[in-house]
Amino acid sequence: MQKHAHEITPRMTNPAYVLPDAGAAIQGLVKATRQGGVDESILELVHLRASQINGCGFCVDYGAKSARKAGVSDEKLFAVAAWRETPYFSDEERAALALAEHATRIADTADAVPDPVWDAAADHFDEKQLAAIVLMVSLTNLFNRLNVTVRQPAGVAI
């Protein structure tokens, strides 16, 4: 009998919980992203966009809920996958989203994060803020790879 998408069960306990030091280390890195002075709504938007690109249902679900808690409007939540074609995002948010996309799709082109993308982000964020955004995108890609690999179901607490 074939399973339907709504019947997804994880293959194993999430590795972040299986290995005793992993969860604490990851949570420390998440906390560090909040020390860069970037508005939490922007961090949540880049998390959500990277998770959409990577097809991580768990992180898209969690990210949308976290973004809403951080004050992201429904307009933006519904449009983040098509942020270039909508009027809802500030120049600062657009720069962060472009950086998130390029840093997530690093295998797609030889120059994964081209200078114009980096320069646009650097026009809006200082080095500490850029560090927080880059770390958030990198952590999101880690989360996505963990959750997709073990088939962590969306909407289920881990």
What's the pLDDT score for residue 1?
Answer: 44
What's the pLDDT score for residue 156?
Answer: 82
pLDDT, tens digit (0-9, with 9 covering 90-100), for 50-81: 999 999 999 999 999 999 999 999 999 999 99
On the question of pLDDT at 4 being above 60, the answer is no
Q: What is the mean pLDDT of residues 35-44?
A: 98
Which tokens sit at 109?
Answer: 């082109």
What average pLDDT is seen over the chain? 94
Q: What is the mean pLDDT of residues 81-94?
A: 98
The answer to whether residues 83 and 49 touch, using CB atoms and an 8 Å cutoff, is yes
90-111 CB burial, b ≥16 within 10 A, e <16: eebbbbbbbbbbbbbeeeeeee
The model's pTM: 0.93
The dihedral through the CA atoms of 50, 30, 94, 77 has a sign that is: positive
Domain extent listing, the chain: 39-147
What's the pLDDT score for residue 3?
Answer: 53
The answer to whether residues 37 and 129 touch, using CB atoms and an 8 Å cutoff, is yes
On the question of pLDDT at 6 being above 70, the answer is no
CATH number corresponding to 39-147: 1.20.1290.10
pLDDT, tens digit (0-9, with 9 covering 90-100), for 115-157: 999 999 999 999 999 999 999 999 999 999 999 999 999 988 7
Res. 5 pLDDT band, cuts 50 70 90: low
